[in-house]
Amino acid sequence: MKRWKVRASILLILLICTAMLTGCGSTNSAKLAKDKVNVITTFYPIYEFAKEIGGEDVNVINLLPAGVEPHDWTPRSQDIVNTSNAQLFLYNGAGLEGWVPGFLKGLNRDTKVKAIEVSQGIQLIESDHDEREENGGLSLNDNHHIDPHTWVSPKSAIVMAEHIRDSLIETDPTHQSGYEERYAAIQKKLTDLDQKFSSQLSAVPHHKVVVSHQAFGYLCRDYGLEQHAIMGLSPDAEPRAKDLVQLTNLVKQEGIHYIFFEELVSDRLAKTLASETGAKVIVLNPVEGLTKQQEQNGDNYFTLMEKNLQNLILALQ
Ligand SMILES: [Zn+2]
């Protein structure tokens, strides 16, 4: 127990340092376009969907640069200027971007930008992982009782794409048919992905997944899996020694062979848990952003989700 505590707090410090390093030095030099609908998105999956559905009729600017984890990001002044002069601002909502209400209030008074919460209409998950007050400890995560990770399930991603299509048509009705055509293409890809997840995951013998941060609630709900997270809804939410001990026992008792980690968050806790239990580590990507390498490889929501499916099938055999 004690060993875990010491180790957990050292790891937590390392984690925070990593988060601070990746958060620094990020610039956004994207420019608004005069002859297109300017769409500002908060993070990667919305950016990708807006680009696909918007096609040549839009200019999409993503606020989060590559390699940055969205939970601890905040906007800077250039972002306020760009958004004030844009036509559409698309954000996830469901508590992901806690800075949005203040940001919208800070926009220029004469702004015409329309703000759309693309997760609306998805049945949200309330977190059961967060009763940390009993501990007397203040969790960084106390205001995050709704699970914001809607996009990690292809089923919810379809709803999000629908909202993006509707908001583009409303903003720019002249190009309605283009938006509808391109939406139909992405909707088909998402539906195929959804069916693949459903059929392939219903065939695996095991259903418990141990992940680093609690980002897979919607994926697990929609495809019959059970999530056990080392950290909370946000990767900077502190794991308790008690939770780590429970997870170690779970992994041992259930004979879980793989612990999932993700690229934008330190893998140290996942690796510690793995070495403690004899399990291996493998990637499960919450698609919160691309690493620079993934960006160069041309990875996107679909390639990363396909890889997630392969890794889930491997781990749950
Ligand atoms: Zn997250």
What is the pairing mode between strands 88-91 and 37-41? parallel
Q: What is the average per-residue pLDDT within 18-29? A: 44
What length is written for the chain? 317
Percent of the chain's residues with pLDDT above 70: 85
DSSP of 168-208: HHHH-GGGHHHHHHHHHHHHHHHHHHHHHHHHHHTT-S--E
User: Ligand 1 centre from 132 Cα, in Å?
Assistant: 18
User: Ligand 1 centre from 143 Cα, in Å?
Assistant: 14
- Close Cβ partners of 36 (under 8 Å, ≥ 6 residues apart): 56, 57, 58, 59
User: Ligand 1 centre from 212 Cα, in Å?
Assistant: 10
> For the segment 35-72, what is each residue's pLDDT rounded down to a tens digit?
999 999 999 999 999 999 999 999 999 999 888 878 87
User: Ligand 1 centre from 297 Cα, in Å?
Assistant: 23
User: Ligand 1 centre from 174 Cα, in Å?
Assistant: 36
User: For ligand 1, a single-atom ion, which residues have Cβ within 5 Å?
Assistant: 215
User: Ligand 1 centre from 75 Cα, in Å?
Assistant: 18
User: Ligand 1 centre from 214 Cα, in Å?
Assistant: 7
What pLDDT was estimated at residue 263? 84
User: Ligand 1 centre from 172 Cα, in Å?
Assistant: 32
Distance CA 8, CA 112 (A): 48
User: Ligand 1 centre from 194 Cα, in Å?
Assistant: 21
Give the pLDDT band (50/70/90) at residue 12: low
User: Ligand 1 centre from 261 Cα, in Å?
Assistant: 12
Beta sheet of 37-41, edge-to-edge order: 58-62, 37-41, 88-91, 114-117
Give the pLDDT band (50/70/90) at residue 131: very low
User: Ligand 1 centre from 249 Cα, in Å?
Assistant: 25
User: Ligand 1 centre from 23 Cα, in Å?
Assistant: 15
What pLDDT was estimated at residue 127? 79
User: Ligand 1 centre from 173 Cα, in Å?
Assistant: 34
User: Ligand 1 centre from 287 Cα, in Å?
Assistant: 9
User: Ligand 1 centre from 153 Cα, in Å?
Assistant: 13
The pTM of this model reads 0.86
Give the pLDDT band (50/70/90) at residue 243: confident
User: Ligand 1 centre from 286 Cα, in Å?
Assistant: 7
User: Ligand 1 centre from 177 Cα, in Å?
Assistant: 34
User: Ligand 1 centre from 288 Cα, in Å?
Assistant: 7
- Three state DSSP letters for 16-30: HHHHHHHHCCCCCCC
C-beta separation of 150 from 122 below 8 A: yes
User: Ligand 1 centre from 115 Cα, in Å?
Assistant: 22
Given a cut of 80, is residue 134 above it in pLDDT? Answer: no
Domains recognised in the chain with CATH numbers: 29-122+142-194 (3.40.50.1980), 200-315 (3.40.50.1980)
